[in-house]
Structure 1
Amino acid sequence: MTDSAPPLASGPLGMRLLAFDRVPEDTRFDDGVPVGYSLVALWRAGLLLLVHVRGRDCWELPGGGLDPDETPRQAAARELAEESGQHVAPRRLRFAGFALTSLPGRGVLRGAVYRAETDAAEPFAPTAEISGVHWWDGAGPLPHGRLQTVDARLAELVGR
């Protein structure tokens, strides 16, 4: 992507979605941009799971950084459970592609994006990081805070 190309989406906190690559999960990139995080678009009865991140006052897809010696798939399952209380085995996550994002103060990173479906919502207990979860219809208002529009665009790209 060139600097003059418009992003696929821009977020309220300065995040930009530069590209979304539908390539195999085991793709090795030689552009120097690391795979630094994983996200999960979890669907239940046509609704998308979002988590409210306290420090950003923002509704986002569950996800986060990779721990040492952890695969993006393992990180996705772990982050989903830690942030939302929803448990999906890593093997049940369907790889959707890699997001190329620009983050203020962090430069350009690549994120592995997964999707999954569940039949039932598991209980959620607020944490120091996550104040709530919401099953969103993609159009209606959120209980409070703002929407991370980059994550909403990624959810559209990976589909239900």
Structure 2
Amino acid sequence: MAEPLAVDSEGNELLRWSAASTDRLPLVDTVVPMPLSLMVATRGTQVLIVYNRRRGCWELPGGMIEPGEGARHAAEREFLEETGQPCRNVHPAGVATFRLRPDHRLEHAAVFRGEVHNPVPFEPTEEIEQIAWWPGSPLRGMAELDAFIARAVAMRVEAS
């Protein structure tokens, strides 16, 4: 098996990044669940990230896909809930495949790309302490798996 693309401090692994080449998410192994959607929202060359109070790290906005909800709608909903920012031009960016600890389960995450043209003031929530525009450079406390995905989407890298 190939080496993971990224590994975080807890041993979670990003195994594969499959970039979208059309207006659809890439086809993936449907035996592996896809319970999560993430948003890579850009303004110029920067990506909007959130500081998650519970996890104590910077990460991409996103969350669980609710029953009966599509992956795109989940990404848009979670983005608005976590950042309070309007996001436009949302389209599929790709699918990330993870091996997660402690049980080594495999999961896919749908990843979408959007743009924030006119940021509005941020109000902290119980979950999200702050937001920031990240230029892609090393950042203490940035989730390693999210950093890889953000760079791949913002730079349109294919790294399967």
Name the TM-score class by shorter chain: 0.7 to 0.9
Please, what is the CA RMSD of the aligned residues? 1.9
Q: After alignment, is 97-106 or 78-87 more displaced? A: 97-106
Residue equivalent to 1:147 = 142
- Contact 1:86–1:121 (8 Å) recurs in 2: yes
Amino acid at match of 2:35: G
- Contact 2:47–2:154 (8 Å) recurs in 1: no
Residue equivalent to 1:53 = 52
| 1:126 to 1:36, Cα distance in 2 relative to 1, 3 A | same
- State which of 94, 97, 100 in structure 1 corresponds to 2:94: 97
Q: After alignment, is 147-156 or 80-89 more displaced? A: 80-89
Q: What secondary structure sits across from 2:72 in the alignment?
A: helix
What are the superposed Cα offsets for residues 65-106 of structure 1, whole Å, 9 maximum, x if unpaired? 0011000000000000011111225xx312011100122136
Residue equivalent to 2:120 = 122
- State which of 2, 5, 8 in structure 2 corresponds to 1:8: 5
| 1:60 to 1:33, Cα distance in 2 relative to 1, 3 A | same
Task: Tell me how many residue pairs correspond in the alignment.
Answer: 152
Deviation at 1:139?
1.3
- Contact 1:9–1:150 (8 Å) recurs in 2: yes
Q: What secondary structure sits across from 2:99 in the alignment?
A: strand
Given the alignment of the two structures, is residue 158 of structure 1 paired with residue 153 of structure 2, yes or no?
yes
Q: TM-score, normalised by structure 1?
A: 0.86
Residue equivalent to 1:71 = 70
Question: How far apart are the structure 2 equivalents of 1:136 and 1:104?
Answer: 27
Amino acid at match of 2:110: A
- Contact 1:12–1:147 (8 Å) recurs in 2: no
| 1:74 to 1:59, Cα distance in 2 relative to 1, 3 A | same
| 1:154 to 1:141, Cα distance in 2 relative to 1, 3 A | closer
Question: How far apart are the structure 1 equivalents of 2:46 and 2:102?
Answer: 32
Q: What secondary structure sits across from 1:93 in the alignment?
A: strand
Unaligned runs of 5+ in 1: none
- Contact 2:66–2:74 (8 Å) recurs in 1: yes
Q: TM-score, normalised by structure 2?
A: 0.86
Residue equivalent to 1:110 = 108
